[in-house]
């Protein structure tokens, strides 16, 4: 039955052929679109498919003392990573990991969630692994597809000192922290970043730069050959930071303050370099490396004395008598003031309807400026009210650096309070305060609040006759000077002599600070600052001159009581040790 003729018309033929070629043309156009027009886009995509970028962490810079002894070091530990996209069966792999390394499997999945940032970004599973654990991991390599380990430098504190408030601590970068960074691309989750102290202030220098390595991987994430078109970049270690700290001095003052609350700062007046600084109580510097127990951590957090607060730049204290040199300098500056004229101290002073007492309720008797400083007579200084108003006096305080941050290179510095008329009006209202406020102010009581670091700068200014550089912890090529203080040479002479009396004279309040070493010259001032929250704060500030070098000392014993009997003895021990260590402290 093959007789039926073909009836297909030419029209039908053309139609079917046309449809065939239209379909072919559609396909060709689509290929043209992908291969010619989309070439760049898809090339890039093919490369991201096959190229795995792995960044390697850079060791953080070390923190050194002035003699290049290591304060903060790096301890090599291992961290365990996974590339999520390469895990065949997450559950089983994690189980194998926890069995092989003896780790808690819950912690692994918890970390996985915490650090997960993308399918092909290494995600941390565990840290602080030992070499031993890593060896066991290597033995089970085959079952652990997608699991990697990496050396990771942890912060480590090899020196005998703690210096926790100076060095500060580092924190692990989590998602929240990373998002808060401007330069967030420079950090991976699990990296460490300076979170306080020098670690934070000098983060830029310490952190270094991550390195990058490229691998070619196949669709299952297995390494498949090297890549020649992208060169690896080695990690750049962070820079070491050379501080002004002297480990020995720091160790000594930490010992002196170990059972006390307060601040000790020791330094070099001319340069403003800090040889040691303690904010007591402090904490172990490795508190934040994550190796301490939950209990230790809780006890630090709940400690009533707030060991985490850095007192030397964030503690606000009434200075008490230690600021009398400002008042004295102000008085000396006044034409009408005669430093030799004596005043009678009977232990109390009537101003208006209020009685202002001297700390010595029996009175100091006949007092001139020198004995007023050396015996710390309050009544004598109340006379300031005859010469100055509040604003003029506060200007003098400002000149000595109070009421403004000194710019110490540890963040969070508070500026304290120097009362001015404006300030008083704002705080108490125009009629809420009287002129008598000046009587408190001129002896360092009342509204005035200072930070120990301001006091350190202040004593440096007196020791150098206004030529001290600003306090700092990290050695600088170019020192930053204080503002010029317009005080006559002869007035500086007077203040210096009077301060020598405080320590060296048998009737001086600071005589307990004198260790009685031949050739050791001491200058100082005690302070017993009343404070509304508890016992008096004991202050001693001063400097020593020995063999042509000068060291300044600030001692604050919080709620310690009398400056002369509590703070001065601490200072004596410091002076003794400074004489001993003198030759060892590099002055360069």
Partner 1 sequence: MILNKSFSYSELPFKIIWAAIFLCFIGLAILKSISQNHVGDLLSNPFTKQIIFLIPALSLSFIIIHIPRYSIHKYSYAFYCIGILIVILPFFNQSHAGTYRWLNFGLPLSIQSSEFAKIFTTIALARYLSDNTLHMKKFTSVIMPIILVLIPTLIVLNQPDLGTSIVMMTPLLPMLYWSGARPFYLFLILAPVLSMLTAFDTTVFTVWAIILGITIISARPILPVSLFLFFGNIFLGLLSPLMWNSLSTYQQSRILTFINPEKDPLGAAYQIIQSKTAIGSGGLLGKGWGEGTQTHLKFLPVQESDFILSVLGEELGFILIFIVLSTVGFLISQIIKNSYESKDRFSSLALIGVATILLSHVFVNTAMTVGLIPVKGLPFPFISAGGSFLVSSFIMIGLVSKLSVNYVD
Residues forming contacts to partner 1 in the complex (CB under 8 A) are 1-8, 10, 12-13, 15-17, 20-21, 23-24, 26-28, 30-32, 34-36, 38-39, 41-43, 45-47, 49-50, 216-220, 224
CB closer to partner 1, 48 vs 587: 48
CB closer to partner 1, 3 vs 340: 3
* Residue 227 Cβ vs partner 1, minimum distance, rounded to whole Å: 10
* Residue 42 Cβ vs partner 1, minimum distance, rounded to whole Å: 2
With beta carbons less than 8 A apart as the criterion, state whether 149 and 123 touch.
no
CB closer to partner 1, 41 vs 404: 41
| Number of Cβ atoms within 10 Å of the Cβ of 570 | 24
* Residue 251 Cβ vs partner 1, minimum distance, rounded to whole Å: 59
CB closer to partner 1, 29 vs 584: 29
CA dihedral 476→405→272→391, nearest 10 degrees, is 140
CB closer to partner 1, 104 vs 218: 218
CB closer to partner 1, 42 vs 181: 42
Q: How far is CA 407 from the centre of its chain?
A: 12
Annotate 170-207 with DSSP letters as a single string.
EEE--HHHHHH-TTGGG--TT-EEE-SHHHHHTHHHHS
CB closer to partner 1, 46 vs 584: 46
Closest CA to 163 of 273, 283, 64: 283
* Residue 415 Cβ vs partner 1, minimum distance, rounded to whole Å: 54
* Residue 222 Cβ vs partner 1, minimum distance, rounded to whole Å: 9
- Phi, psi angles (nearest 5°) of residue 41: -60, -45
Q: How far is CA 533 from the centre of its chain?
A: 27
With beta carbons less than 8 A apart as the criterion, state whether 529 and 323 touch.
no
* Residue 226 Cβ vs partner 1, minimum distance, rounded to whole Å: 13
Q: What angle do CA 104, 105, 107 make, to 5 degrees?
A: 70
* Residue 24 Cβ vs partner 1, minimum distance, rounded to whole Å: 4
CB closer to partner 1, 15 vs 428: 15
CB closer to partner 1, 10 vs 484: 10
Q: What is d(CA 47, CA 396) in angstroms, rounded to the nearest whole number?
A: 68
Q: Is 407 left (phi over 0), alpha (psi -120 to 50) or beta?
A: left
Encoded tokens for 495: 């203040």
Closest CA to 220 of 52, 47, 43, 45: 52
Encoded tokens for 344: 């009678």
Environment class of 376 (CB within 10 Å of its CB; exposed 0-12, middle 13-18, buried 19+): buried
Closest CA to 240 of 62, 68, 60: 62
CB closer to partner 1, 129 vs 227: 227
Radius of gyration of the chain (CA): 35
* Residue 121 Cβ vs partner 1, minimum distance, rounded to whole Å: 17
CB closer to partner 1, 181 vs 220: 220
Residues 6+ apart with CB under 8 A from 211: 55, 56, 58, 232, 233, 234, 235, 236
Closest CA to 555 of 578, 580, 534: 578
Give the number of residues written for the chain: 588
CB closer to partner 1, 39 vs 181: 39
* Residue 119 Cβ vs partner 1, minimum distance, rounded to whole Å: 10
CB closer to partner 1, 50 vs 210: 50
Residues 6+ apart with CB under 8 A from 236: 58, 208, 209, 211
* Residue 43 Cβ vs partner 1, minimum distance, rounded to whole Å: 5
Beta 241-242 vs 63-64: how paired, if at all? parallel
CB closer to partner 1, 1 vs 361: 1
With beta carbons less than 8 A apart as the criterion, state whether 474 and 283 touch.
no
* Residue 46 Cβ vs partner 1, minimum distance, rounded to whole Å: 4
With beta carbons less than 8 A apart as the criterion, state whether 380 and 359 touch.
no
* Residue 27 Cβ vs partner 1, minimum distance, rounded to whole Å: 5
Three-state DSSP at 555 gives strand
Closest CA to 457 of 332, 558, 328, 312: 312
Encoded tokens for 409: 């290179």
CB closer to partner 1, 38 vs 290: 38
* Residue 45 Cβ vs partner 1, minimum distance, rounded to whole Å: 5
* Residue 85 Cβ vs partner 1, minimum distance, rounded to whole Å: 10
* Residue 118 Cβ vs partner 1, minimum distance, rounded to whole Å: 13
Give the residue ranges of DSSP H helices in 322-448: 324-333, 369-374, 378-382, 390-399, 421-428, 437-442
Residues 6+ apart with CB under 8 A from 414: 313, 314, 316, 405, 451
The residues pairing with 154 across neighbouring beta strands, listed in sequence order, are 75
Encoded tokens for 51: 């190229």
């Amino acid at each position: 039955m093959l007789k039926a003729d073909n009836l297909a018309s030419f029209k039908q033929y053309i139609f079917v052929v046309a449809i065939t070629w239209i379909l072919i043309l559609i396909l060709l156009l689509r290929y043209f679109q992908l291969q010619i027009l989309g070439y760049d886009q898809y090339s890039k995509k093919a490369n991201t498919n096959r190229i795995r970028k792995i960044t390697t962490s850079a060791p953080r810079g070390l923190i050194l003392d002035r003699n290049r002894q290591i304060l903060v070091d790096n301890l090599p530990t291992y961290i365990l990573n996974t590339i999520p996209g390469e895990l065949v069966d997450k559950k089983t792999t994690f189980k194998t990991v926890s069995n092989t390394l003896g780790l808690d499997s819950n912690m692994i999945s918890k970390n996985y969630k915490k650090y997960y940032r993308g399918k092909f970004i290494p995600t941390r599973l565990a840290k602080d692994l030992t070499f031993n654990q890593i060896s066991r991991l290597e033995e089970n390599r085959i079952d652990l597809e997608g699991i990697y380990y990496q050396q990771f430098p942890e912060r480590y504190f090899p020196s005998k000192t703690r210096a926790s408030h100076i060095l500060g601590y580092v924190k692990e970068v989590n998602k929240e922290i990373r998002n808060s960074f401007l330069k967030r691309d420079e950090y991976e989750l699990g990296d460490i970043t300076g979170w306080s102290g020098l670690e934070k202030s000098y983060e830029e220098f310490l952190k270094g730069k991550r390195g990058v390595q490229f691998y070619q991987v196949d669709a299952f994430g297995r390494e498949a050959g090297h890549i020649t078109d992208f060169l690896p970049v080695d990690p750049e270690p962070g820079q070491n930071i050379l501080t002004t700290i002297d480990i020995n001095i720091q160790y000594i003052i930490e010992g002196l303050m170990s059972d006390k609350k307060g601040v000790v700062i020791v330094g070099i007046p001319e340069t403003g370099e800090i040889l040691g600084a303690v904010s007591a109580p402090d904490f172990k510097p490795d508190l934040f490396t994550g190796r301490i127990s939950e209990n230790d951590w809780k006890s630090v957090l709940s400690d009533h004395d707030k060991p985490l607060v850095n007192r030397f730049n964030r503690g606000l204290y009434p200075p008490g008598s230690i600021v009398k040199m400002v008042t004295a300098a102000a008085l000396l500056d006044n034409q009408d003031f005669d430093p030799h004229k004596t005043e009678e101290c009977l232990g109390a002073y009537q101003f208006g309807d209020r009685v202002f007492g001297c700390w010595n309720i029996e009175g100091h008797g006949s007092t001139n400026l020198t004995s007023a400083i050396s015996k710390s007579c309050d009544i004598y200084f109340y006379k300031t009210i005859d010469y100055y108003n509040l604003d003029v006096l506060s200007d003098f305080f400002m000149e000595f650096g109070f009421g403004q941050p000194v710019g110490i290179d540890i963040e969070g510095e508070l500026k304290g309070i120097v009362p001015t008329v404006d300030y008083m009006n704002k705080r108490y209202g125009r009629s809420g305060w009287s002129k008598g406020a000046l009587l408190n102010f001129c002896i360092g009581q009342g509204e005035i609040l200072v930070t120990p670091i301001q006091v350190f700068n202040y004593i440096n200014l007196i020791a150098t006759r206004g030529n001290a550089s600003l306090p700092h912890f990290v050695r600088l090529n170019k020192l930053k000077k204080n503002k010029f203080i317009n005080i006559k040479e002869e007035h500086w002479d007077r203040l210096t002599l009077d301060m020598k009396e405080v320590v060296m004279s048998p009737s001086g309040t600071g005589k307990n600070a004198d260790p009685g070493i031949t050739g050791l010259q001491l200058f100082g001032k005690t302070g017993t600052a009343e404070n509304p929250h508890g016992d008096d704060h004991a202050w001693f500030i001063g400097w020593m001159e020995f063999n042509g070098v000068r060291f300044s000392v600030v001692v604050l014993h919080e709620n310690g009581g009398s400056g002369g009997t509590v703070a001065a003895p601490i200072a004596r021990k410091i002076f003794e040790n400074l004489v001993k260590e003198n030759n060892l402290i590099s002055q360069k």
